Amino acid sequence: MIEVQGLRVVLPLETVALYGVDLVVAPGEFVVIIGRSGAGKTTFLRAINRLVEPTSGTVRVAGQLVTGTDPGALRLVRRQIGMIFQQFNLVRRASVLDNVLAGRLGYVPEWPSLVGRFPPRDRALARDCLAQVGLADFAARRADTLSGGEQQRVAIARALAQEPQVILGDEPTASLDPTLAGSIMGILGRINRERRLTLVVSQHQLETALEHGTRIVGFRAGHVVFDGPPAAVSPDVVQLVYGEEAA
């Protein structure tokens, strides 16, 4: 479902964020990425849909090339990739439903959408996605009147509205308290099982990662240093990923 080969990202000011990462994610996997802050987790996720431009290497999602494509082809493949963020990244002043409708932007006719006109089918789909995260009654509320956990659920609904094959999550629970974090990971797990959606989510909480992931990938200083099932995460692996001394 996701094929990453030799992905190298050099950020401005010559900082190497990723040194040639290879990773293949099969359909239906729930990959949780662990690692210390600055290990390259965020850069890796953002390079998959080219919010960050890779320096070299290739990324394919659902068989379509992401890297090196023209803007039109990039938009088509981005529709297949939902994304949720640590800060939820909703448009605060817009209504909850409008935020979810944004997930349809890659599908609807461009000019009508600019004046806020969406086909009825897309509106119905957006409402349906909102219902799936349990927020059907919140459609008309302004996004910034919702609590953090509710906002992240709206962001999940926005990602689902893309009818994607893959959802990427960049520390989606890091700004939430532990109970809410668990419930958000639970919603993602349910989506993974019921819809057979492929998930790649970074997570700074090790226990949460092990509880929800079907596969754990450990990043350290721009390299993948561990890749295996949650059961294989031994104290040695923890030391390898998080340990103080050089790996």
Partner 1 sequence: MKRAAWLGAALLLLAVAWHIDADPARLVRGLPWMWDFVRRMVPPDFRVLPAALRGAVGTIEIAFLGTALAAALAVPLGFLSARNVAPPAVYYAVRTALNFFRSIDTLVYALLFVAAVGLGPFPGMLAVVAYTTTSLAKLYSETIEGIEPGPVDAIRATGATRLQVLRFGILPQVLPLFLSYVLYRFESNVRAATVLGFVGAGGIGLYLQTYLRMIDYPAASTVLLVTVVMVMLVDFASARIRARLV
Where do contacts with partner 1 occur on this chain (CB under 8 A)? 49, 51, 75-79, 81-83, 85, 87-94, 98, 102-107, 110, 113-114, 155, 158, 162
d(CA 208, CA 193): 17
Min dist. Cβ of residue 19 to partner 1 (A): 24
Using the minimum distance from each CB to partner 1, give the nearer residue, 167 or 241. 167
| In contact, 40 and 144? CB cutoff 8 Å | no
d(CA 203, CA 197): 18
Using the minimum distance from each CB to partner 1, give the nearer residue, 4 or 168. 168
* Dihedral angle over CA of 202, 8, 167, 192, nearest 10: -70
Min dist. Cβ of residue 191 to partner 1 (A): 17
Min dist. Cβ of residue 232 to partner 1 (A): 32
Using the minimum distance from each CB to partner 1, give the nearer residue, 106 or 189. 106
Q: Which of 21, 108, 92 is nearest to 57 (CA)?
A: 21
Min dist. Cβ of residue 114 to partner 1 (A): 5
Using the minimum distance from each CB to partner 1, give the nearer residue, 29 or 98. 98
Min dist. Cβ of residue 187 to partner 1 (A): 18
Using the minimum distance from each CB to partner 1, give the nearer residue, 31 or 166. 166
d(CA 157, CA 100): 6
Q: Which of 50, 52, 58, 62 is nearest to 5 (CA)?
A: 58
